[in-house]
Structure 1
Amino acid sequence: MRLIPYLILISLLFNSCGGNRQEIFVAPDGNDQNSGQQNAPLQSLQRALELVKDLREKDPESDLTIYLRRGTYYLDRPLVFDAIHSGTPEHPLQLTAYRDEAVTISGARHLELNWSAGEGPLLQAELKADQPFDQLYLNGRKQIRARYPNYDPDILIYNGYATDAIAPERISTWSRPETGVLHAMHRAEWGGYHYRITGVNAAGEATLEGGFQNNRQMGMHREFRFVENIREELDAPGEWYYDDAEERLYYFPAPDLDPDTSRAEIASLEHLFEFRGSKDAPVHDITVAGLEFRHTRSTYMRTKEPLLRSDWAIYRGGALLLEGTENILIQHNQFRQLGGNAVFVNQYNRKTNISTNLFEQIGASAIALVGSPEAVRSPSFEYHEWVAADQLDREPGPKNNDYPAQALIEGNLIRDIDTIEKQVAGVQISMASGITLRHNTIYNTPRAGINVSEGTWGGHMIEYNDVFNTVLETGDHGAFNSWGRDRFWHPNRQIMDSLTRAEPGLILLDAQNTTTIRNNRFRCDHGWDIDLDDGSSNYHIYNNLCLNGGIKLREGFHRTVENNIMINNSFHPHVWFEGSHDVFRRNIVMTWYKPIRLNGWGDEIDYNLLPDSAALSRSHELGLDTHGGYGNPDFLDPGTGDFRVADASPALALGFENFPMDSFGVMDPKLRAMADTPEISAPLFFLPKAGSSSPLVDFLGAQVSDIRGLGERSAAGLDSDKGVMVRTVPAESLAGKVGLQAGDVLISLNNHPVERVAQLMEHYQGESWRGAIELSYIRNQEQHKLDIKL
C-alpha cells in the first residue's frame, strides 16, 4: 500500500532544481496518486504536506516549496502544520502561488442547487446541510440572512436596527422563533452581544442564550439591535433562510443575480490553516505567500473567553491559527469574506511576521496576538475583580513564556472588519511583548483600529500607521485604544490611590517596557485619535498627526507625550493620579486642554503652542506652560495634509520639530493604490474673526458659517450676531437626515453656547466622543432642540 507514495518520494528526491531543492506542485485538477512534479500535480494540500513530512524525515534541511496552481481549493478540514513540516532559517518551507497565479483557499462547501418556484417571489431548493451555516454566497457575493429590520447599507449601525426587534408583538408572528439569532450593541456602546433565541416564555418574550461576548456585562442597548434567521422576516431581495427541519433553502432573488446560473457556496470551516506546535517543539520557518483565504464560518457564539479586565472576550481561532510557532511569515496574501478572526496568534509564538497582506470583509478582528493568562501573575478577568494587596505576586514580568513576542505586523491594508462582531480591532494585542506595528493602513472599523488590552508586558513599537474611520458603530474609544488595568489596578479609586502611593513599584510590574507610539496619522470622529484609557502606563507618544479627536490619557503613570499635532482638538487629561509622572510638552494644540477630575498635572506641562493668549493665560494661572506660546502654527499646506510648520512658526521657537507627512500607512504600490486616505479637515481655530469674511465649514455634512451682518441677523430674528448659520444641507448628509434646514441658526451644543463657527467646532470636538450631541437652534424665530446620534 506504500509503494506509490514511496515512488513519488524517490521521484521528488531526484527532481532537485540544484542542490537540495524540491518542488511539489498541487492543482485543483491534479491527482493525489501523481508524483507532485510540475507535469503531474497532486490535488490536495493534505497530500502535499504528507510528502513534506516524508521528505523531512529523509532530509530535515532540504529546501522545499509547495506550488499551488490557479484555482480554488475547497478544504474539508483545516490544513495542519506540525513541527515535522518546519524548515530552517536559510530554507523555510514555502507554500505559495505559482508565478502569481490566482489561488483561493476556501472554507466553503460548493452547492449544486436545483431551484424551483416557492411562495410569492421566493425560490426554494432542497439542501441537506451536514452542519449549521450562516453565510451564503452566490457568485462570490454574500447574501443577506433573513432579518428584521431589513438590511440598509446607508445605516451605519448594524446596517439597520430596531427597538422592537424581539418585541412580543413581533415574536407572536413567528412560527419558529427558536431559529432566530439576536445581535445587540452593548448598553454603553462598548462592543456588542449575540444571542440564540431558545424559545418564548409565558409572557411572549424571547428566552435567550449568549451575551458572553463582552467582558463588561451591562446588558443590551435598548435601540441598537436586530434579529435574523426568522422565516417570516424573509421579505427583501437578496435575503435567504434555511429551514433545517424541511432541509430546504429559501431565497428572495436579488434583481441582478440569476440563481440558476450562479455559483452557490456556504461557509463550512472555522479555520483554514492551523500551525500547531509547542514551546518545546515549535512549528518554525514556514512561509505562506500569494494566496487568498475566504469563507470561514462566523464564530461569535464561541467568543466567550474574557481577557484581563478589558471589555473584550475572545475566541482563540481564525482562518489562520498560529500556536507554538517561531519564524512564521504570512506575506502578500488576501483575506476576504471571513466569518471570524482572520489571523490569530495564540499563546507561545516568536518572531511572527505578517506583512503586506490585504484584509477586508472580516467578521471579527483582522490580526489578534493574545497570550495565555497562565503567563500572567495575579491575573483578574473582569473590571470589578481584583487580587488583594497582601496576596499580590510582586515578581515583575511574566510567569512563563506562553505569549506572543517579537512579532512584526507591517504594511498590511486592513478595512471593513465590522461585518459581524463589534468588539474587534484591525490589530488586537493582549498579554504579549515587543510587538511592532509598522506602515499599516486601517480603516472602516466599528471600534479601535489598534487595541492594546492591558499593560502586559509592553515594549510595543507602533509607528508609521494610518488609522482612520474608526469607532463607527460604538463609542467612548479611539483610533488607537489601550487599557492598563494591571496588577496595581483596583476598581475603587481611593484604594488604588493608597496602593500606588504606598508602593509605586506595583505600577510597572506588568507594563515593564515602554510602548512607543510615533510617526502615525490617526483620525477618530467618534472618540479620540489616541485613547490611553483606565490606567494605561509606560508610554512614549511623539511625532503623531492627530486629525480630529486629540489625545486622551486617563489615570495611569509614566506617559510622555511630545511633539504631536492635534488638529482642531487638544489634550484630554482625565482622572490623573497625584504622582502620575506624566509629561506633555512641545505639542501643537488648537484649543485649551480638556481636563476632567485631575489630582495633579504630572511632572511637566510646558513648551506647548496654544491657540491664543486667553488659552495661554489660563495655563499660566495653573502653573502650566511657563515657557509655552500661542498663535497660528503656520502649517505649510494643510489642504493636502502637510502639517509641517513654516520656518517662522512660533512652534519651532518652543522646540517643536517637523516630522515627515508622507510616510503613513502602506508602502507597497499595489496596496497603496487600493487604500483610502483620511479626510483632511481645515484648521478651524484660526478662522477670520467676527466682522471679516467668514468661510464655509463642514458640520455634520452641512455647510455653516458665522452670521454675516445685520441683514442676516434681522432675517433670522436674532438679538445679536452670535450664532452659526446653516447655509446648505445635502439631503444625504447627517444634518439633512436629522432635519436641519438651510437658514437654521445654531446657538448651543450640549448646553455650551455657540457664538462662532470656531466655538461650534471646539465644543463638537470636545463632546463627539460621547456618540451623541444635543443642538439648540433658531428656526422661524423660535428655539428648537435636536438630539443627534453620531
Structure 2
Amino acid sequence: MRNRHLYALFIWLQFICPTLSAQHKLYVSSSGNDANAGTIAFPLKTPAAAIEKINRSKQSHIAILFRQGTYHLDETLSLDNNSLQGKTVSLAAYKNENVTFSAGRKLSLKWEKHTGNIWKSRIENAGFESLFINGIPQILARYPNYDSTARVFNGTAEDAISPEKIAKWKNPAGGYLHALHQGEWGSFHYRIKGIVNGKADLEGGWQNNRPAPLHPKYRFVENIFEELDAPGEWYYDKNDETLYFYPDPRIDLDKANIEVSNLKHILEVKGTPEKPVHNVTVKGIRFEHTARTIMDHYEPLLRSDWMIYRGGAVLMENTENCIVEDSEFSFLGGNAILFSGYNHASGVTGSHFHDISASAICFVGDSSAVRSPAFGYDNFVQYSKIDKTPGPKNNRFPSNCFAENNLIHDIGKIEKQATAVQIEMASEILVSHNTIYRVPRAGINIGDGCWGGHLIENNDVFETVLETGDHGAFNSWGRDRFWHPNRKTMDSLVLLHPELIFLDAQKTVVIRNNRFRCDHGWDIDLDDGSSNYHIYNNVCLSGGLKFREGFRRVAENNILINNSFHPHVWFKNSGDIFRKNIVMRPYFPIMVTDWGKEVNHNLFPDKAALASAQALNIDRDSKSGDPNFVGAKHGNYHVKSASPALNIGFKNFPMNNFGVTKASFRKMAAKVDFPVLLNAALEMELQETIWLGAKIRNVNGLGDRSAFGLPDEKGVVLVEIPASSILTKSTLQAGDVIRTANNEEAGNVVRLEAIRQQYNWTGKLNLEILRNQQVLKIDVTLK
C-alpha cells in the first residue's frame, strides 16, 4: 500500500514540478495591506484576501506564502471549487518562517481588582470557553481544582454535583459536568441548565455511542463562578459581560497577550462527491486556539463505541491529493484534522499534534456508503432485510489516504473517547512511522470492518489508555453486517449464512513492525467481531494480544513481553491462526471451545505454561524456554542464535525502525520505558524493588518465616509505603506480607509484578496478606 501512495505522490509531483517556475506567488504579511498586489514587496495582510485572489488568477498553480507572524482569523478559511476553479494551490510558510493561524480573538483589556486575588475586566458581545494568556490555556473555574498529577480529567470528585455542593452555587446555568462512562469507555459531557428540586438539571451525554450511567467517582464540574478559587482559573459572566480571573502571580496582566477562542474550524477544504477538490497542500503552518466542540452535534459511527463531531481545525471533505505536511496543531478545542466523506490519496505527514481536546487525525466516511448500516451497539438489521451485496454502496469514504511520520501526544484533554488516528468507514488507510503517547484511550482505533485494507506499520505507540479502561494501544471493532449483540443469535446466523462475514471486511488489515504498550488494557485489542487481520512482527511491551470473536485473524512472529495471548469467546470455524509467537505467560482463554485453524509452534516461558496449553489440545509442536533476548533492557528483543524461539520458526525483525523518522521529532519525542523482563532468571536475581511507589522485598530465609509467622518462605514483604505511593489509598501497612494477588501465588517480587501487569487494566488487585500471623484480604486500587 505504501508504494501505491508514493506512486500517487510521484505522479502529482511530476505534474506540478515542470510548472513551478511559472507558479504564481502571493505573499501575505501581518504588516501588509489587503489593497496591495500581494508581491513580496507589497504583501497582502490576511489569508482570506489571498484566497479571494485565487480565482481571479489565470495561473493554474498558485502558492500563497506567509511571512512570519500570527494571523488571527475572523472567519474560517474556505477552499472550495468556487475559489479554486481546478487550480493547484499551496499555503505555506515562507522559507520556514514561524507562521500561525489562530482561531482565537485577541483582546485588549482594562483590568481592575474584584476581590482578594481575583481581577476582572469588561468584555462585550463575547461568548467563549477558552482563555489563553501568552499562548497558554488557562483553567475554566472548576471543582475539584486542577491537579496535574491526577490520572483522570486532572482531578475528579464524587461529590461534584452533590446536593451539598450545588447548594453553594448561586447561578450555575451554563456550567458543565464532565464524567467518565460507568464502564470507563470514554466520557460524557453535560451542560448544567439550572437546579431543579435540589438536583442539577443536565443537558447532554450524546458524546458516547454506548449509553450508560455516569461513573460515580470520575467526574468534575467547570464554569461555575463559586469554584473560581485557584491560580490560573477564570470565569466569564455572560449576563454582566465580565471576565473574572485569578492570575498566576508570575503573570503581568498589563503586559500579557490575551486571547479567547472564537472559531471551531480554521481551514476547510471542501469539494463535492461529484467534483472533489484536487491538489491543495498546506505546509509549515501552526494551527491553534479553536473553540471547544463537546456540546455540538455528535454523530454515531455505526455500532462502534464512538460518536464524533464531524469537524476539526482543518476539515478535508471530498478531496483528492490534498496534503498537510510539516505543520503543527496545538491547544485546540476539538479535533485537529478530519478527513470526511470522499477523500482519495489525501493525508497528513511530518506534523506535530499536541494539547488537543479531542482526536488528532480522523478518517471518517459517510454512512450512506455502508450497506444496511446499523447505529448503536444494540441495533441490528434483520437478515431478511440485509443488503447482501459485498462492499460499499458508493465512494463517499476515505481511501488510499495516509497519516505518516507524525508526532502525536497529549490529546483527548477533555474528550476521553479520543485517539491519535481514527479510522471509520474507510478503505486502505496507511498509518506509518507515527510516534504516539500520552493518550486517554487508544493510540490507533479502527471502528468497523468497512472496508479493510489498512496498513498499520512502524508506529511507536505507548502510554495509552491512561484515563479509561478495557481497551488497547491499538483497538478495533467489527460490528458489521454479520454481527449481532446476542451471541446465540449471531452464532446461528454465521453458521447458516457464512457469506455475511466478509461482506464489509473485504480486504485484510495488516498490522506489522509496530511497538505497542498499553498499561490499562491490551497492546493489541481486536474486539467485538474484528475480522480479516494479519498481525506480524510486532513488539507488545505490556498488555499482550487479544482476539475477541471474529474470523480469519492471523497473528505470527510477534513478541509479547511479560504477557500472553488472550483469546475470548471464539466462533466455531473462525479460521484464526496464532503461531511462531513468543509469549511470556500462559494463555488467558475465556469461553473458547474451538481453537480456530492453528494454534501451534509458539514459545512459552516454561514447561508449566506449555503444558497448560497442550492440555487444551493445542500447541502440539510448541516449545518452552528462555527466548534469550539480545538486549531487553534497551529494547532489543532480537533473539540470540541459541534461542529456542528459532526452533519454532520465529524470525528476528528490525528493532530500530519504530516511530517517527523526522530528525527533529526523534529528538523531541518522549521515549518508551522498557519493562523489566519478568522471567525465571530475574526471579533468581531480583530480591527487592519499588512496586506502586512502595519498597518491597522477597521473604528471605527462616528468619523471615519465623518473624512473620509464615508456613513457608514464599511471599513479598512491604518494607516502606511512602506518602507518594498509590498504596496509601489502601489499608496495607509496612510489615504486611503479600501471599497471593487475584488468587495467584505471589511468591516473590517478580511474580507479584507479573500479576499486576496482567490485571492492571481492571484497576484492582485482590491481595491476601499475613499481618500479625492473621490472614487478611485487602483490595488495592491501581488507578
Return the TM-score normalized by structure 1: 0.94
Residue deviations 1:419-459 (CA, integer Å, cap 9, x gap): 11010000010000000000000010110000000110000
State the 1:18 CA deviation: 7.9
Aligned partners of 2:592 and 2:759: how far apart in 1?
19
- 1:687 alignment partner, SS class: helix
Matching residue within 34, 37, 40 for 1:35? 37
Cα pair distance change 1:730/1:352, threshold 3 Å: farther
Matching residue within 744, 747, 753 for 2:739? 747
Pair 1:166 & 2:161 matched: yes
Contact 1:731–1:737 (8 Å) recurs in 2: no
The amino acid of 1:310's aligned partner reads S
**Aligned ranges for residues 316-355 of structure 1 at < 5 Å?**
316-355=310-349
Aligned partners of 1:675 and 1:693: how far apart in 2?
33
Aligned partners of 2:133 and 2:706: how far apart in 1?
60
Aligned partners of 2:450 and 2:67: how far apart in 1?
43
The amino acid of 1:68's aligned partner reads F
State the 1:283 CA deviation: 1.1
Pair 1:137 & 2:132 matched: yes
Contact 2:55–2:84 (8 Å) recurs in 1: no
The amino acid of 1:183's aligned partner reads H
Cα pair distance change 1:727/1:563, threshold 3 Å: farther
The amino acid of 2:287's aligned partner reads F
Cα pair distance change 1:615/1:555, threshold 3 Å: same
- 2:626 alignment partner, SS class: coil
State the 1:140 CA deviation: 1.1
Contact 2:310–2:340 (8 Å) recurs in 1: yes
Aligned partners of 2:390 and 2:697: how far apart in 1?
56
Matching residue within 769, 774, 783 for 2:766? 774
State the 1:743 CA deviation: 3.7
Counterpart position of 1:52: 54
State the 1:233 CA deviation: 0.6
Counterpart position of 2:124: 128
Residue deviations 1:32-83 (CA, integer Å, cap 9, x gap): 010100010000111101111111xx24x3x321110010000011000012
Aligned partners of 2:698 and 2:578: how far apart in 1?
33
Aligned partners of 1:751 and 1:528: how far apart in 2?
21
Residue deviations 1:196-254 (CA, integer Å, cap 9, x gap): 1111112x001110001010001100111000011111111111011111111101121
State the 1:730 CA deviation: 5.0
Aligned partners of 1:738 and 1:302: how far apart in 2?
40
Aligned partners of 2:650 and 2:279: how far apart in 1?
44
State the 1:549 CA deviation: 0.2
Pair 1:112 & 2:105 matched: no
Counterpart position of 1:765: 757
- 1:164 alignment partner, SS class: coil
Counterpart position of 2:152: 157
Contact 1:303–1:313 (8 Å) recurs in 2: no
Aligned partners of 1:490 and 1:573: how far apart in 2?
19
Counterpart position of 1:4: none
The amino acid of 2:700's aligned partner reads R
Cα pair distance change 1:18/1:78, threshold 3 Å: closer
Counterpart position of 2:459: 465
The amino acid of 1:222's aligned partner reads P
State the 1:687 CA deviation: 3.4
State the 1:502 CA deviation: 1.0
Counterpart position of 1:194: 189
Contact 2:764–2:779 (8 Å) recurs in 1: no
- 1:653 alignment partner, SS class: helix
Counterpart position of 1:788: 781
Counterpart position of 1:181: 176
Cα pair distance change 1:389/1:151, threshold 3 Å: same
Larger displacement relative to structure 2 (472-481 or 747-756): 747-756
Cα pair distance change 1:738/1:356, threshold 3 Å: farther
Aligned partners of 2:360 and 2:399: how far apart in 1?
18
Residue deviations 1:246-280 (CA, integer Å, cap 9, x gap): 11110112122122211110011000000010122
Counterpart position of 1:13: none
- 2:499 alignment partner, SS class: helix
Cα pair distance change 1:592/1:481, threshold 3 Å: same
Contact 1:87–1:285 (8 Å) recurs in 2: no
Contact 2:732–2:778 (8 Å) recurs in 1: no
State the 1:725 CA deviation: 2.4
Counterpart position of 1:732: 724
Aligned partners of 1:458 and 1:86: how far apart in 2?
32
State the 1:694 CA deviation: 3.5
Larger displacement relative to structure 2 (79-88 or 264-273): 79-88
Pair 1:643 & 2:633 matched: no
Contact 1:444–1:468 (8 Å) recurs in 2: yes
Return the TM-score normalized by structure 2: 0.95
- 2:55 alignment partner, SS class: helix
Matching residue within 548, 557, 560 for 2:542? 548
State the 1:741 CA deviation: 5.2
Aligned partners of 2:748 and 2:205: how far apart in 1?
45
Aligned partners of 1:118 and 1:470: how far apart in 2?
42
Matching residue within 62, 74, 77 for 2:75? 77
Aligned partners of 2:20 and 2:304: how far apart in 1?
53
Contact 2:54–2:84 (8 Å) recurs in 1: no
Cα pair distance change 1:246/1:596, threshold 3 Å: same
Contact 1:102–1:291 (8 Å) recurs in 2: yes
Aligned partners of 1:471 and 1:416: how far apart in 2?
12
Cα pair distance change 1:321/1:734, threshold 3 Å: same
Counterpart position of 1:229: 223
- 1:179 alignment partner, SS class: coil
- 2:494 alignment partner, SS class: helix
Counterpart position of 1:3: none
Pair 1:702 & 2:704 matched: no
Contact 1:774–1:788 (8 Å) recurs in 2: no
Counterpart position of 2:27: 25
Contact 1:316–1:344 (8 Å) recurs in 2: yes
- 2:377 alignment partner, SS class: coil
State the 1:177 CA deviation: 1.6
Counterpart position of 1:5: none
Aligned partners of 1:715 and 1:531: how far apart in 2?
45
State the 1:740 CA deviation: 5.1
Larger displacement relative to structure 2 (313-322 or 114-123): 114-123
State the 1:618 CA deviation: 1.9
Aligned partners of 2:85 and 2:453: how far apart in 1?
29
Counterpart position of 1:563: 557
Matching residue within 521, 531, 554 for 2:515? 521
Cα pair distance change 1:165/1:397, threshold 3 Å: same
Counterpart position of 2:4: none
Aligned partners of 2:63 and 2:682: how far apart in 1?
65
Contact 1:198–1:207 (8 Å) recurs in 2: yes
- 1:469 alignment partner, SS class: strand
The amino acid of 1:48's aligned partner reads A
Counterpart position of 1:719: 711
State the 1:700 CA deviation: 2.0
Cα pair distance change 1:696/1:86, threshold 3 Å: farther
Aligned partners of 1:145 and 1:275: how far apart in 2?
32
**Aligned ranges for residues 495-506 of structure 1 at < 5 Å?**
495-506=489-500
Matching residue within 607, 611, 624 for 1:617? 611
The amino acid of 1:366's aligned partner reads A
Aligned partners of 1:268 and 1:436: how far apart in 2?
33
Counterpart position of 1:9: none
- 1:300 alignment partner, SS class: coil
Counterpart position of 2:3: none
**Aligned ranges for residues 416-435 of structure 1 at < 5 Å?**
416-435=410-429
**Aligned ranges for residues 250-649 of structure 1 at < 5 Å?**
250-649=244-643
Contact 1:122–1:250 (8 Å) recurs in 2: yes
Contact 1:85–1:93 (8 Å) recurs in 2: no
The amino acid of 2:35's aligned partner reads Q
Contact 2:760–2:782 (8 Å) recurs in 1: no
